[in-house]
Structure 1
Amino acid sequence: MAIRTNFMLRAGISLLALTFAAPAFAHPHVFAEARLDVNTDGNGNVASLHHVWRFDDLFSSTVLVEFDKNQDLALDQAELDEVASVVHGSLADFNYFQLVTRDGKDVPMQAPERLIADFVDNQLIILFESKPETPLPLTGKIAFGVYDPTFYTAIDFIEDSYMTVNSLPAGCTSSVVRPDPDEAIAQNQQTLTDAFFDDPTGNDMSKIFATRLELTCSKDS
């Protein structure tokens, strides 16, 4: 199934042809390495999330061709700003691929004011910061991750150290969880429907496959 964002439709024209021949159970065509830094404040709350995504060479080359208006085989600041603007608008409906939960319930996040695009060593890099809509206290179990519900883009944390917490309170512990797909399906079998297996892109349960950073905090942390 073709991805449902204007940015991927526009910047991935050469890749889209692959999706029409893809089986019903979608698989990724765009790949990115990610880093996530969770920032806390002095009041025991999550202050912000800082995201960095580095895209694969093929997709980055496609973006370069599409947005290089002056055809100098580079992206100047104006062209990078256009890339960032298109990505910003296109990913709004997907919560910017963010997964944030507290005790199993989704935590609403503010849309980032803007995204920053860069092109380093022939790879597209996207950076942005987001904040919880309301104060998010460091109590209970809080999980953070990045996933594309359409399965078109695979965003991976290559090392556990790429998911960090700045100034983690003493009453909290952190761990990186990398779900095994077969185990994730087995553990969630009762909540998965035939519709999910026919079209996983139309079901938010795809987040069960996402690598996540889990914080477990006591109430007085």
Structure 2
Amino acid sequence: MTNKQTGAVLLKGSGNGLRLIIPDDVPIDKVIEDARLLLKEASAMVSGMDIIVDTGTRPVDEQELVFLLQRLIWGESLKVSFWRCENSAARDLISNSGFKLEFPPAQIDSQDYDALVIDRSLRSGQRISHPGDVLVMGNVHDGAEVSATGNVCVFGRLSGVVHAGADGDDRRFITADNFNARQIRIGNKVSNDVDLSDHSWWGRPVIISVERGSFQITERK
């Protein structure tokens, strides 16, 4: 997934969703202002996605945490899965407040490749393979293929074959603005090549992941 930045705040793709990175040297009012603008600009990317709030070494105190919750997290209806804090006091505060902390990434995530952004549609016969996340700003037509060791996001119609986690990592995910694919792959899992058009999410924006060994397809609202 591509990175997107507005002012001091960065939105970055990760194996577990999207990471909202908050700097440690910018006033909290400016952080919230930039973050809200960034989320508005990236609304199509953020919708329905898990967010990891990464405060880094910022010494978040009780007042800042309340500001972040009221004016950003709850105010923008973000779906936060984890918090990441390198500052020990901030980590204790957030943990004691009942929020989940992200543990250090596993070795499989230690090598960070740049995302590949494709600013066009892919036609039948075209094949893309990349060691990292892939973002397609267009359609993936029937007969086209995208293979990535990371996540795959299609901002258009997905009719071709997409393989996320091509190195065997079934923690990866696929998103599409218009799902019309007969087959998808995540890690070592392959969907059945059957007619799925009778499902309610056919032709709709979806998020696809593997949960407990089975494909989970959720319509993005």
Shorter chain as denominator, the TM-score bin is under 0.3
- Report the structure, 1 or 2, having the larger helix content: 1
Q: Which has the higher contact order (CA 8 A, sep 6+)?
A: 1
State TM-score, norm by structure 1: 0.26
State TM-score, norm by structure 2: 0.26
